[in-house]
Structure 1
Amino acid sequence: MLTFFRNIFKTKLGLALALVFLGLIALAFASADVSSTGAFGGVAGGDRVAVVGGEKIGTADLVQAANNGLDRARQQNPTLTMEEFIAQGGLEQSLETLIDRFAIRTYAEKYGIRAGDNLVNSEIRLLPAFRGADGNFSEDIYRQALAQARISDAQAREDFATGLVSQQLFVPATFGAQVPERLAYRYAQLFKERREGTIALLPSASFAPQGDPSPAVLQRYYEANTADFVRPERRIIRFATFDSEALGDRVNPTAAEIEARYQRDREQFAASETRDVTQLIVPTKAAATSLRQRIAGGASFDAVAREAGLRATPLTGLEQSELTSQASRAVADAYFAASEGAITEPARSPLGWHIAQIDDVITQQVRSLEQVREEIATALREEKRTEGLAELAIEIEDQLADGATLTEVAEELNLELTTTRPALANGRIYQAQETLPEVLAPALQTIFQMEEEEPEIAPLQGGGSYLVYEVAQITPAARAPLAEIRDRVEASWRISEGLKRAQAAADRVLKRVRGGATLAAALAAEEVQLPAPEQINLTREQLAARREQRIPPPLALLFSMAEGTTKKLEAAQDIGFFVVDLNDITMDDIADDDPLIAQARQQLGPVIGEEYAQQLRLAMREELGVERNEDAIEAVRRQLLGTN
């Protein structure tokens, strides 16, 4: 019910100290939404970007952290480029993450808090991501994961140790955090708060210039906004698929193979007998004998069992050898000596004394080779299909490793090669409302990591078919030439200029409203025609109940302003500017035992704990001292952007 408050007051906390694939999340400490406050002057040495309590963070550390951060971001946005990642603050966030990690580790060492090798080993072995098919820790899977993440075993263990140490530091600091009763009352009361005001939009399009820009103006705008016109990396893929049809006659078993399988499984085709029974197990022979006598005298087997407080258990398809191993020879002999419909004599096993009713006797005569030839052939054909397909895949993999081309493999197996149009890392065809063939989905991540003309093979449908593919052409992410996107650049320039003029108009409207005019009158004073303002009359409760998953920014601003004030707010995607005018705030009292108060305490408690964690993190930095080398940071930025 108080989801609204969580949305308003939650901060960006809980920074992941370990790499994402390791799955070890440090508990509740603040991350990159707060920039470093520990700048104590220049850091000597161009190979370090920061010093934390005497511990140096090298430029190589920051480069690797930024690349890893980009990889993680691409899990949500596969087409993200390094330029976009840095423009969105990714490099600064990566540096903040490094500083936090070094600060925690150094602080822990200073006060004797540590995570030993045995504890780290235990944590690694407990992670499901590193378990093999048998459910146990797999060293091979662990090493493969490290190689995929481009980190060493030592780096991984250091991250694990840092995460474990952070738990020792932050859990005690945040555990059991509670909101005071009066504070909870105040937040619960805010739920009943009503606000009345007006929201107006000044669209950029209404102020956009009408005339054509000069070539010089357009060129300057294009150069100043290069990141907006970067085309993402595109790849053309060639691929083919094959299944057991590529094996030809190799899947058909020979007469000798069928006969050999028959001889191997002679027991399976020999005469056999299985039985379906319903049994009871009791502690003593006397009890078993008494129950048998009652059933033999005409009482129902199930009724006798219920009267004795027991449950009759049906068993189907029993074999004598199987029953001997599961119960005892005496029980098996008794069950297989009785005729169909009879009640067996009491027989003992480690579980107690057994009696059973023989429900059905199923006998099978000996089956000759001719009788089972087709059955065996079908089984062998399926085995050869599975094994042969896997062997063929290995052969192709070896051929590719020895330098064979995809074309040569396709010709040898008579496969049809397909070439895609340029595609993006998210699987969409570039500049088209289409996607790559579904068959490429399992290999898509690898496709956008491999080099050109390095064919790969991958299983499909659990090994029932295979995909052979290569990257035929890579077009790297790059700024599109102005001549090719002039219309797009011009449209962007118009919106940009319109946004500037909309901002100036919003300032004029603000000045008129603050001078005593109504918002409607202030808008009417503009020379361009603008949309009519929207009247707002809502409580926080009504706002929280709105169907939108995210509260519109102007409404959020309205509910955070002081009464009688007017503010402007830039709209998303350069749409324009909002002007928000708050006229009146009213508040209703709530009862001291209102359930909203208890909910507020429960839901705001974690927020208080996160605040404690943030303060502890900042205190660590303050005590240790943090120095940043802005020149080295800028050098890393240029290196990642390729502008050195």
Structure 2
Amino acid sequence: MDGRDVGLGRRPAGADRPDGLIGDDAAGRGEALRQAAGELAGHHRLRLAGQALRLALADADDRRQAGGQRRLGLGQHHGVALAMVGAALGMAEDDVAGADILQHRRGDVAGMGALGRGMAILRPDGEVRPGLAGDEVQIGKGRADQQLGGRRPRRPGLHRRGQGSGLGEGAMHLPIAGDQRAHSGGHGVLHCIRDPYRAGPGLATGRLLGYGSRPTRARNPMLTALRRLAGTWFAKVLFVLLILSFAIWGIGDMARNLFAPDTSLARVAGQPVTFEEGQAAMRREMQRLSRQMGGQFENDPRIRRALAEQAVDQIVLDRVLRVETERLKLAVPDAAVRDYVFAIPGFHGADGQFSQALFQSFLRNNDLSEARFLDLLRADLARQQIAMAVRSGAAAPTLLTDRLLRWLDEQRDVTLVSLPIAAAPEPPAPTEAQLQRFHENNPDQFSSPEYREATVAVLTAALLSQEVTVSDEDVAAAYEARRGQFETPERRRLTQVLVPDAAKAQEIAAAWTGGAPFDAIAAQAKAAGGEALELGEVDRAGLPVPELAEAAFAAPESGVTAPVQSPFGWHVFRVEAIEAGQSRPLAEVREQLRRDLAQEKAADIAFERANKVEDALAGGATLPEVAKQFGLGLATVETDANGLGPDGKPVALPVIEASRAPLLKAIFQAERGAAPRLQETEAGFVAIEVRKIVPPALRPFDAVEAAVRAAWTLDARRHAEEERAAALLQATKEGKSLAEAAAAAGLGSREIGAVRRDPQQEAAVPRELLAPLFELKLHEATMVQTRDGFAVAQVQAIAPGDPAADQEGLERLKGQLNQALAQDIDVALLGALRARSDVRVNPRMLDSLAQP
């Protein structure tokens, strides 16, 4: 079609002849300006024709689809229930079996509408298309002057307008461009249309000419709008977002678990070590240390950190070995666990047998259940199986032990000359130029240290304890809860007889009360099938059965108890001595308890307040502001790393004396200009703002002239002694003995024999001389600088060790080597097992475990 023809139409494309068929003599419009096929390509460049192409409208020679290769097309939509049911009228070169939806957007743009009418939408009868059987009509220069394809009808009887019956029961979508049918050969066949609204048979041309017609059914505008909206990109994106929202909602729990922070202390082979396990292990370690150290145990951050690492490492080790035992399918029978428990000496009672009471006491003291202890013991036995299997061949070769003993027991006789700096002659007085040069050549000795001006805010329990009030009721309650700390229980030194028969026990008690000696009582007990033994000093808790404790602690000193029965037999005790218990009353320890409680409460407040301080600093508050608001200690100081100011005097820091060194270390680790952040140190919670850094600088000579003169004199004396030592060493290289060279220089010498490698031996020679001395050959000499001067030594004799003469030392060395080899094997084994188990420790949770 011609681009100028586009403006002629305002309605959908349809038949443009008075008879409703495609042709050139359209009613009321005039014919198309140009329709030659060869002219179509040129008109694509015209504005209106190009617009039609962009809108995906019909066009000749557009075989498969209108517009650009179905970018906006929805494919073949014979079933899409829009305003049409079938396909529109086909045009030449329109190969698609069904028209695209977008081919019908504005049919009037193409200007091919019938006069005053829209297109007629009729349903086709199956695959039959209307045509004139054997009567094809040339349409002149219709469209591309090609054949309007259509399949021949399945039955004859189709006629021109006004001839014959209708086309059957189906309606037909009049063909348009982009809807080309199969060719039938020759020119295009005239297509007839049946009026869908006309009762009875008839051709559609009657409707087009005004007879037998009915009004066109109205479309539903809302439904049409929704259908159009469903094909837009906006609707597709909305649909995708809807799917994603349901997907995320459905897997929300899984996503939260996937991205949630790991709260385990460690993972061994993917299995977590829980925080509760670490707390229990650390609590047991702290209880053990507390029992061992008593009142000397201090729960400071360094100890807590070390205990936390030790507890986690022990759990990880247990897990690693458990994984290996499972891999090797090792099993520890219950009988082996039971025998091992019964063999532990700490669980033996006075009769030498396993004591259930002692066993339960051990479990309580170590915060263990019986099942947990047996599990740990079973794991330890399994680990011993693995370790013993691996280290069974760890034995040091005899050749190694012999040579090593010879090397260790080697002895040397030496001649020694000592040259202390204090004994050096006085050097001549230095000149001013010499002092100036010495001052310049040794800036490290005469420079001021680095100074830092910093504002420091500290939050400690000692500061906060001043805000804490501890009532007398709190002190009394703490005293009752901690009474064991202030009481020393009564202790008694006991002797016991244990026999299986009550009558024999009664006889022994009578004899003992009558003054029989212990040897006679022991013989009597042995004859009765029992034994007599000394228990030593015990308190009430040291006796396994309450009835035994009651009887033993009720008797007077030197008294003998009546026989007392227990699960082990019949007991008779004699009290040899009594150490009375001591109890410190509340009045004596009241202030100490008050301070301790205040410190404990202040520590809890410190952690709560630290979070608020961090929030305030993050919000931009300055250190003086947060110190005033939250009661922190504050100071602005200019100090060196030793806590001295430019005047050489100690600066005042807002911490106790024991915390000065950690605070100074934190000051010199902070960065200048960095925003202050609250951090936990050994000095407490500390926030530091470094304002200025003064680098080291050489002090003026006039200010340090006295120090320069003293240092020059000391250096001159050291240099003189070094020259004398070097002269002695040179003399030995020239063939003289060290004693002869020393005598020639007016110096004394000493002869020292049997010098060994052991640095723990009595200091016959300077410690700095031992290592180089045993590297020398016979009659060689060496010189070293010592703490107070110089020393020169010459080897006079070498005596290697003799394994045959020291069999005891050889066996001892062999045992040490075997143990060292076994430990090396254990370390290598555990390292390999840890690597295989993919051990991962969580530093964040480890820090939390170390917190009080």
TM-score normalised by length of structure 1: 0.39
Larger RCO of the pair (alpha carbons < 8 Å, separation 6+): 1
- Structure 2 length-normalised TM: 0.31
Q: Which has the larger radius of gyration?
A: 2
Considering fraction of residues, name the structure with more helix.
1
